[in-house]
C-alpha cells in the first residue's frame, strides 16, 4: 500500500475520531486533524477536558461510526455559507481557518451528521477503515503559539489490516522501552531541571563520559581527514548576524540581549565565525580545500511545546565544519563528506539511511544561478556515489540547498542526523576572496556540514537504537568489579587499580549486598562486563568474567581480561 493511500485512510480516521468526540462531548470545538507519519491527530477544545482513561470510550464510539459505514461526501461551499454554518455551530477555530483561505469557495466533508472544513481527500466511507487505535493524549497550543489557548490533542493510528496495526503497536511498545528519556534516568546519564530552564541538559558523570567519547571520536576522525580545529565565542555582536542574514531569517530562534549599548546574540550557528577565520589572512588557490572544524556549542530558542528530551533542546553541540574550496572541487568535497558520514555512522551501529535534497525556500538569499549550481553539485555528488534520494522542494536553508541524511535505527525509525549544505551566497555577503592562478581575486565556494548533527540529538538516537546497551567502546562504565564478600574487597581494589591504569573505565561495587543482587543491578545498568572476585580468583590473580550478553564466561587471568577489553574496544565492537 502506497504512502498516499495510507495517508488518506488516516486523515479519514481523524474525522471519525472528531465525530466520535462531538457525539460524546457536545459543545466540543474542532481545531485541525491531519494525518502524520505514523497516524493522525486532532486538536480539540473539549468542555471539561478528558484524560487518557477516556480514550477507550472514544475508540468504542469510533467503531460504532465505522460500522455505520457513513459515506464521505465532499461539497464546495461559498465562504459566507461556510462562515454562517460554523458560526451557528460555535466553531470559532474553523472560522479562523476560513479567514486564512484565499479562495472564494471552501471544501467541506460530510459523514453522517458530522460536517468538517477540509480539502480532503478521504476514503469512500467510514466502513472502509478496517483497523484503528487511539494512542495518547497531549496538550497543544492553537496554531502552536504559546499565547493561544491550550487544546487537547488526541493521537491515533490506522491501517488497512489488523495485522499491520498489531505489528505497529508491538513496535510502539518496544519504542517505549527504548525511550531515551526513560533510559537516561535509569542509566543515570542526564537530567533536565526547571531551575535552569527547559531544553537545557544537565549531564551526569556517565552521560558526560558518553558525550565525550562521541566527541573525542569525532575530533580524531576529523583530524585524520585533514580538518583543522577552530573555536569561537558563545556570543557575538548582532552586526555579524545581520551581515550573515540570520538576523532577518532566523531572529525568532535566537537569544538576543544588550550590554554596554551594543546588541549581542548567543550563537545559534558557527558559520559566521568560521568565515572570519577564513578572512583573517590572504588566501591562495593553492590553499584549497580549507576544512575548518569545531565542536561548537550553540543555543536556539525552541518553543517549550516542541522540546523533547535530548532530541529537541535549546542548547547543544554540533560537530560542525565549513569547507572552503574552488568551484571545480565542490562535487568531490561533497562526495567525500557523504563517505565520511557513512563511515562514522557505521561505527556507531547504523547501516541504513534515508536521504533528502532540499531546494530553495521562498525566503532566501543569493541568485538563481548560484542556487542552480549549488543544487546540481549536491545531486551530482549523490549520483556519483550511486545513492538514491528524495527531493524536498523549498526546504533548503536560506543561504543554500542541502542534503539531509537520516539514520534508521533498530526499530526502522528515521532520525535527522547529518546535513551538507552548498553555499554560494554567504561568501558574497562576507566578501570572501582568494588569489587565483591568474593573480586576480576570486570567490570561494563554502560547504556547511555536520556529521552527527548535534551530539545531544545523536545521543538520544544512539540510546534508543542500542536500548541503552552500548557497545563496549562507548559504554561509560565498561567493567564493574564485584567482590563476593567483604573479605575480597582488597582484591577488588587491586583489580580496579589495574584496570584504570590500563585506561579501562571500571567501578568497584563494594556495597554490603549479596553478590546476586549486585549482578542483577549491573545487568539493569547494562554494563558490558562484570569481574567477580573471590578466593579462587585472588589466588590465581584472575577474575570470573560475566558479560552482559552471554552471562557466565568462566575464569580468566586478569592480564588476559585486560587484553580482551583492549582488543574489543579497539575494534569498536
State pLDDT tens for residues 314-330: 999 999 999 999 999 99
Task: Give the total number of structural domains in the chain.
Answer: 3
> Does 195 fall in a domain?
yes
Verify that 375 and 521 share a domain, yes or no. no
Report the candidate in 271, 305, 381 with the shortest Cα–Cα distance to residue 336: 381
Regions of the chain with pLDDT less than 50: none
Identify whether the C-beta of residue 66 lies closer than 8 Å to the C-beta of residue 18: no
Predicted confidence at residue 306, as pLDDT, reads 81
> How far apart are the C-alpha atoms of 20 and 65, rounded to whole Å?
7
Verify that 111 and 250 share a domain, yes or no. no
> Does 96 fall in a domain?
yes
> How far apart are the C-alpha atoms of 378 and 515, rounded to whole Å?
57
> How far apart are the C-alpha atoms of 175 and 101, rounded to whole Å?
39
> Does 113 fall in a domain?
yes
Beta strands per DSSP E along 249-314: 256-259, 262-266, 290-299
Predicted confidence at residue 82, as pLDDT, reads 94
Residues 6+ apart with CB under 8 A from 368: none
Catalytic residues: 271, 300, 318, 320, 322, 402, 448
Verify that 31 and 158 share a domain, yes or no. yes
Residues 6+ apart with CB under 8 A from 351: 345
Verify that 414 and 509 share a domain, yes or no. no
Domain end among 145, 178, 211: 178
C-alpha distance from residue 303 to each of 139, 274, 307, 464 (Å): 13, 28, 7, 24
> Does 426 fall in a domain?
yes
> Does 142 fall in a domain?
yes
> How far apart are the C-alpha atoms of 28 and 43, rounded to whole Å?
10
Verify that 99 and 130 share a domain, yes or no. yes
CATH number at 546 reads: 3.40.50.800
Residue written as cell 553541540? Answer: 317
H-state helical runs in 386-488: 426-429, 455-466
> How far apart are the C-alpha atoms of 24 and 272, rounded to whole Å?
56
> Does 63 fall in a domain?
yes
> Does 472 fall in a domain?
no
CATH number at 174 reads: 3.30.980.10
Predicted confidence at residue 562, as pLDDT, reads 97
Domain end among 403, 433, 466: 466
Predicted confidence at residue 335, as pLDDT, reads 96
> Does 357 fall in a domain?
yes
Verify that 305 and 192 share a domain, yes or no. yes
Verify that 26 and 131 share a domain, yes or no. yes
Instruction: Give the range of the structural domain holding residue 79, as residue numbers without chain letter.
Output: 3-178
Verify that 10 and 120 share a domain, yes or no. yes
Verify that 68 and 89 share a domain, yes or no. yes
Domain end among 158, 178, 198: 178
H-state helical runs in 25-154: 55-68, 79-88, 92-100
Verify that 415 and 484 share a domain, yes or no. no
Verify that 60 and 126 share a domain, yes or no. yes
Predicted confidence at residue 120, as pLDDT, reads 87
- CA 43 to chain CA centroid, Å, is 24
Verify that 247 and 193 share a domain, yes or no. yes
pLDDT digits (tens, 9 = 90+) for 164-193: 999 999 988 998 899 999 999 999 999 999
Q: Which three cell numbers, joined as nine digits, stand for 125? A: 466511507
Amino acid at each position: 500500500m502506497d504512502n498516499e493511500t495510507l495517508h488518506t485512510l488516516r486523515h479519514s480516521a481523524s474525522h471519525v475520531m472528531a465525530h466520535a468526540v462531538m457525539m460524546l462531548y457536545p459543545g466540543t470545538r474542532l481545531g485541525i486533524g491531519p494525518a502524520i507519519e505514523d497516524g493522525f491527530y486532532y486538536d480539540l477544545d473539549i468542555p471539561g477536558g478528558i484524560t487518557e482513561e477516556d480514550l477507550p470510550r472514544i475508540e468504542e464510539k469510533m467503531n460504532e461510526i465505522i460500522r455505520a459505514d457513513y459515506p464521505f461526501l465532499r461539497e464546495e461551499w461559498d465562504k459566507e455559507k461556510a462562515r454562517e454554518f460554523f458560526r451557528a455551530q460555535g466553531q470559532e477555530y474553523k472560522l479562523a481557518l476560513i479567514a486564512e483561505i484565499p479562495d472564494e469557495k471552501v471544501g467541506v466533508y460530510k459523514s453522517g451528521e458530522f460536517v468538517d472544513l477540509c480539502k480532503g481527500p478521504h476514503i469512500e466511507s467510514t466502513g472502509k477503515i478496517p483497523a484503528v487505535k487511539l494512542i495518547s493524549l497531549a496538550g497543544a497550543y492553537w496554531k502552536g503559539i504559546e499565547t493561544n489557548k491550550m487544546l487537547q490533542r488526541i493521537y491515533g493510528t490506522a491501517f488497512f489490516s489488523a495485522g499491520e496495526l498489531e505489528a505497529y503497536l508491538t513496535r510502539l511498545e518496544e519504542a517505549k522501552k527504548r525511550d531515551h528519556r526513560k533510559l537516561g534516568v535509569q542509566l543515570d546519564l542526564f537530567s533536565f531541571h526547571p531551575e535552569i530552564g527547559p531544553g537545557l541538559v544537565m549531564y551526569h558523570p556517565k552521560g558526560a563520559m558518553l558525550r565525550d567519547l562521541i566527541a573525542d571520536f569525532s575530533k580524531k576522525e576529523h583530524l585524520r581527514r585533514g580538518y583543522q580545529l577552530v573555536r569561537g565565542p558563545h556570543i557575538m555582536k548582532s552586526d555579524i548576524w545581520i551581515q550573515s542574514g540570520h538576523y532577518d531569517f532566523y531572529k525568532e530562534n535566537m537569544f538576543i540581549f544588550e550590554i554596554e549599548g551594543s546588541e549581542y546574540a548567543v550563537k545559534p550557528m558557527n558559520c559566521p565565525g568560521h568565515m572570519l577565520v577564513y578572512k583573517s589572512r590572504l588566501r591562495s588557490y593553492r590553499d584549497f580545500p580549507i576544512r575548518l572544524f569545531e565542536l561548537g556549542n550553540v543555543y536556539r530558542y525552541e518553543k517549550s511545546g516542541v522540546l523533547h528530551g535530548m532530541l529537541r533542546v535549546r542548547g547543544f553541540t554540533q560537530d560542525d565544519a565549513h569547507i572552503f574550496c574552488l568551484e571545480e572541487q565542490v562535487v568531490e568535497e561533497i562526495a567525500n563528506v557523504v563517505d565520511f558520514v557513512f563511515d562514522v555512522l557505521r561505527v556507531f551501529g547504523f547501516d541504513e539511511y534515508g536521504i533528502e535534497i532540499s531546494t530553495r525556500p521562498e525566503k532566501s538569499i543569493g541568485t538563481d544561478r548560484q542556487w542552480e549550481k549549488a543544487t546540481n553539485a549536491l545531486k551530482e555528488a549523490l549520483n556519483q556515489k550511486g545513492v538514491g534520494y528524495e527531493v524536498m522542494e523549498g526546504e533548503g536553508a536560506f543561504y543554500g540547498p542541502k542534503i539531509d541524511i537520516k539514520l534508521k535505527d533498530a526499530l526502522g525509525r528515521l532520525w535527522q542526523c547529518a546535513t551538507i549544505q552548498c553555499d554560494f551566497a554567504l561568501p558574497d555577503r562576507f566578501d570572501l576572496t582568494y588569489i587565483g592562478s591568474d593573480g586576480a581575486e576570486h570567490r570561494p565556494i563554502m560547504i556547511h556540514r555536520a556529521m552527527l548533527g548535534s551530539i545531544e540529538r545523536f545521543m538520544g538516537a544512539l540510546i534508543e537504537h542500542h536500548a541503552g546497551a552500548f557497545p563496549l567502546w562507548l559504554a561509560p562504565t565498561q567493567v564493574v568489579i564485584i567482590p563476593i564478600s567483604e573479605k575480597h574487597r582488597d582484591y577488588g581494589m587491586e583489580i580496579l587499580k589495574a584496570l584504570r591504569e590500563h585506561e579501562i573505565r571500571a567501578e568497584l561495587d563494594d556495597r554490603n549486598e549479596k553478590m546476586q543482587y549486585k549482578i542483577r543491578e549491573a545487568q539493569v545498568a547494562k554494563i558490558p562486563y562484570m569481574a567477580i572476585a573471590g578466593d579462587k580468583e585472588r589466588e590465581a590473580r584472575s577474575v570470573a568474567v560475566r558479560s552482559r550478553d552471554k552471562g557466565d564466561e568462566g575464569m580468566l587471568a586478569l592480564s588476559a581480561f585486560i587484553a580482551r577489553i583492549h582488543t574489543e574496544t579497539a575494534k569498536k565492537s
